[in-house]
Structure 1
Amino acid sequence: MAGPRPIVLCGPSGAGKSTLVKKLMKDYEGIFGFSVSHTTRTPRFGEENGKDYHFITREIMEWGINQGDFIEYTEFSGNMYGTSKTSIQDVQSKNLICILDIDIQGVLNIKKTNLDPIYISIQPPSLDILETRLRNRKTETEESLQKRLHAAKIDMNADTQLFDAVIINDDLDRAYEDFTNVIFSLESPIEHYIYVVI
């Protein structure tokens, strides 16, 4: 896939990935674009199709996987999630740096491709703090919360060598500074790219 190197973010739900990405895209408007994932789950209140996720049926997603349309996919809590090649290409066709938010299985799958992204792991300070953050959201049932915490344990124990950087989000401002420092140090063409765009 042509274009600037994508950025792959990985980390448990509640680690702060979305917050960091929103701030990055606001501070560097017109530089980054978010790859919208596909899912078979039903939309939550306030979610928009094509913005938060591409909401599709299991049959359509399985057909796309069989056609080789997805660069990575996984199943969580009975629902399928995945990143289509088209979603990445849509961002890159606008000459934007593509950001992907995927789980650890997705990282392992993308390692087998020629995408060549920057891999960044965003982690909470501890599992207890993560649980508090998730409970404060009030968007999870107890069952789904426990599944997220189980997935988080796996994610937090992943081999750090899979990533170019691991950022502990215990303070948002510091985590954001680390986040941007990693991106600009590892993706040297970005500085030139931003200069040209601005």
Structure 2
Amino acid sequence: MLLLVSSPSGAGKTSLSRRLVADHSDLTLSISATTRAPRPGEEEGREYFFKTRPEFEAMIERGEFLEWAIVNGHYYGTPKAPVMAALEGGHDVLFDIDWQGARQIAEKAPDDSVRVFILPPSWADLVRRLKARAQDSEEIMHARLKLGREEITHWAEYDYVIVNKSFDRAYADLGHIYRAERMKPGRNPWLPGFVEGLGQEQV
């Protein structure tokens, strides 16, 4: 399964995604590449793979991305190799991703993709969260808010929508979605053999 989680910046998708991955050993977080500068506390290979613009463009030329887009003047993209390695190892993959990337991946793998959109309880709450983060300049924060209004207009493209009024409740909802989707017959190739074995058991 490809679990695609999107939201406007500050609505909580990163915190929710990382918690879900930490609590489920069969779920792997896809780490994106970007040309933006690291924020304070961010580490190479944990939050992002930080690339120069020429490095990123060379990766595009070599076809190394599942998807990529330009957001707020910076490149963002999903490296293909780690995702394919996780899937081949029997893991589901969670993507902390914007609407453009989610759309690209869902178009390429519609049967495997599950899209979840996280909304803030109010616009004022989103502004408060971004200000409390204090990681961006006023100019960058305004750009994020402008982009967030655009991001929100795509909510109806998603399979599920969670309003993040409470982190614990939103996390429970995300966990229920993941577990329900994981139990669909098509995502459990072992089921036919298991059911056949049940039918052959002697009482």
Instruction: Tell me whether the two structures share a fold, i.e. TM-score over 0.5.
Output: yes
Question: Is 1:180 matched with 2:175?
Answer: yes
2:108 corresponding residue in structure 1: 113
- Kindly report which structure 2 residues correspond to 1:112-151, keeping only aligned pairs within 5 A, or say none: 112-114=107-109, 116-151=112-147
| SS state at 1:112 partner | helix
How many corresponding residue pairs? 187
Encode CA deviations 1:14-46: one digit per residue, 9 max, x unaligned: 111122122222322x22111010011222222
Encode CA deviations 1:113-133: one digit per residue, 9 max, x unaligned: 126311111111122110100
Q: Which amino acid aligns with 1:73?
A: W
1:15 corresponding residue in structure 2: 11
Which stretch shifts more, 139-148 or 109-118?
109-118
Separation of aligned partners in 1, 2:78 and 2:107: 14
1:90 corresponding residue in structure 2: 85
Question: Is 1:27 matched with 2:29?
Answer: no
In structure 1, stretches of 5+ residues that fail to align are 194-198
Cα distance, 1:159 vs. partner? 4.4
Separation of aligned partners in 2, 1:186 and 1:95: 16
Encode CA deviations 1:148-187: one digit per residue, 9 max, x unaligned: 1011111112141x21100110111111111111111122
Separation of aligned partners in 2, 1:192 and 1:173: 28
Q: Which amino acid aligns with 2:16?
A: L
In structure 2, stretches of 5+ residues that fail to align are 190-203
Q: Is the 8 A contact 1:6 1:118 kept in 2?
A: yes
| SS state at 1:100 partner | strand
Cα distance, 1:192 vs. partner? 6.8
Cα distance, 1:54 vs. partner? 0.8
Aligned mate of 1:166, from 161, 164, 169? 161
Q: Is the 8 A contact 2:8 2:151 kept in 1?
A: yes
Separation of aligned partners in 2, 1:38 and 1:27: 24
Encode CA deviations 1:49-100: one digit per residue, 9 max, x unaligned: 1111111111121122122221111112221111121131233244321111
Separation of aligned partners in 1, 2:127 and 2:62: 38
Q: Where do 4+ consecutive residues of structure 1 move more than 4 Å?
A: 189-193
Separation of aligned partners in 2, 1:81 and 1:90: 20
1:59 corresponding residue in structure 2: 54
Separation of aligned partners in 2, 1:33 and 1:111: 18
Larger Rg: 2
Which stretch shifts more, 81-90 or 127-136?
81-90
